[in-house]
Structure 1
Amino acid sequence: MLLSKPQRMARCAMIAALYTAVSLLLAPFSYGAVQVRVAEALTLLPVFTPDAVVGVTLGCLLTNLLGSSPIDAVFGTLATLAAALLTYALRRVRWRSLPLASALMPVLINALVVGAEITVFFMDAPFTLPALAFNMFTVGLGEVVSCMGLGLLLVRCVEKNRTLGEFLTA
C-alpha cells in the first residue's frame, strides 16, 4: 500500500515526536560527554523507510534545540542526518539477518562528530588529542548501547510485529 504525501509527512512527524519525547524524558542520559541517548535506537528506522531519515533528523534537531545548544543543534543534527542516510544506504547489508552495517553508522558518525564537538566547543580545557579520543570513545560507547543494542532489538521487533512492519514499510 502506498502512502499519500500527507500520510508520509505524518509518519515523519510521529518519528520526530517520538525521538524528541524519549530524549527529553530521559534528559539526564541524553546529553553530555558520557551519554546514552536511548532515542538513537530510532536511527535504525531508515532500514525500513526513507521517511525515517527525515523523522530522526527532525527529532534530533528538536531535541537539541530544546535541551542542548545551538552548536549541538547544528553539528549533532548533521551527524544524525549523515548517519540516517548511511543507515538507509546500507539497509540490505545483513549479517545473520541483522543490519549490523546500518547500526554501525550512527555509532561511528556520532562518535566522530559529537565527540569532536564536545572537545572543541564544550570543554574548559584546551584541545588535546587524548581529550578528543576520550570524548569520541564515550559518545561511541553510548551509541553502541543505543544503536547496536536497543536499535537492533527495535529492528527485530518491527520485523516480527506485522502492524509496525506495515506502518514503517508502506
Structure 2
Amino acid sequence: MKKFNAKIIAKIGIVAAIYVVLTVAFPLLSYGQVQFRVSEMLTLLAFFNPIYIWAVTIGTFFANMASTLGPIDIIVGTIATFLAVYPMTKVKNIWIASLFPAIANGIIIGLQLNILFGLPLIPSMAYVAFGELVVVTLIGVPVMKALKKIINF
C-alpha cells in the first residue's frame, strides 16, 4: 500500500463522494433485494490501485446511511464491500476481479436480507449477485477498460 499523502487522500475522498452520490441518487436501484447500484462499477478501481479499497469502503459506509435496511446495513454492507474489493488487488485478471463483488455481496447481503426480513436465502443471494454481475462485470469492466485508456487510476 502506498503511503498516504494529500493527493491520495483527495483521490480517496473524491471517489468515496462519487460512490455516495451515485448510490443515493438512484435509491430504487441501490437498496433492497434486487440491486443495480451504478456506484458498484467503482469497485473495479481497487483492481487498478489498492488505495481505492478505502475509497469504495468509505463510500459504501456513507451511502448505506440512506439504506432502507437501517443502521445494520451501514456495518454489514461496508464489511461486504471491503471483503469484495480487497481480493481484487490480489488477482491479475479484471474479469476474475469483477466477480468478487457478486460473490461477497451476494452471500453477505443475501444473508442479511434473509435474517432481517425473512426473505428466502438462496433467491436473495442470487438476486444480489445477479445485480452485481450486471453492473460490475457486464457494464463495469468494459467501462473501466475504456476509461483506463484515458485516465491513470
Deviations 1:55-95, CA, capped at 9 Å, x for gaps: 000000000013342111111100100111011111x2x2x
Alignment TM-score, normalising by the size of structure 2: 0.93
Q: Is the 8 A contact 1:38 1:150 kept in 2?
A: no
Separation in 2, partners of 1:41, 1:4: 24
Q: What SS does the aligned partner of 1:36 have?
A: coil
Q: What SS does the aligned partner of 1:35 have?
A: coil
Q: After superposition, where does 1:1-170 map in structure 2 within 5 Å?
A: 5-68=5-68, 69-90=70-91, 92=92, 94=93, 99-123=94-118, 131-161=120-150, 164-165=151-152, 168=153
Percent identical: 28
> Relative to structure 1, is the Cα distance of residues 119 and 12 closer, same or farther in structure 2, using a 3 angstrom cutoff?
same
Deviations 1:107-160, CA, capped at 9 Å, x for gaps: 10000000000110133x6xxxxx100100100110011111222023212222
Q: Which runs of 5+ in 1 are unaligned?
A: 126-130
Separation in 1, partners of 2:47, 2:143: 11
The CA RMSD over aligned residues, in Å, is: 1.6
Q: Which runs of 5+ in 2 are unaligned?
A: none
Aligned length: 151
Q: Which has the larger radius of gyration?
A: 1
Q: Is the 8 A contact 2:81 2:105 kept in 1?
A: yes
Give structure 1 regions of 4+ aligned residues with deviation exceeding 4 angstroms: none
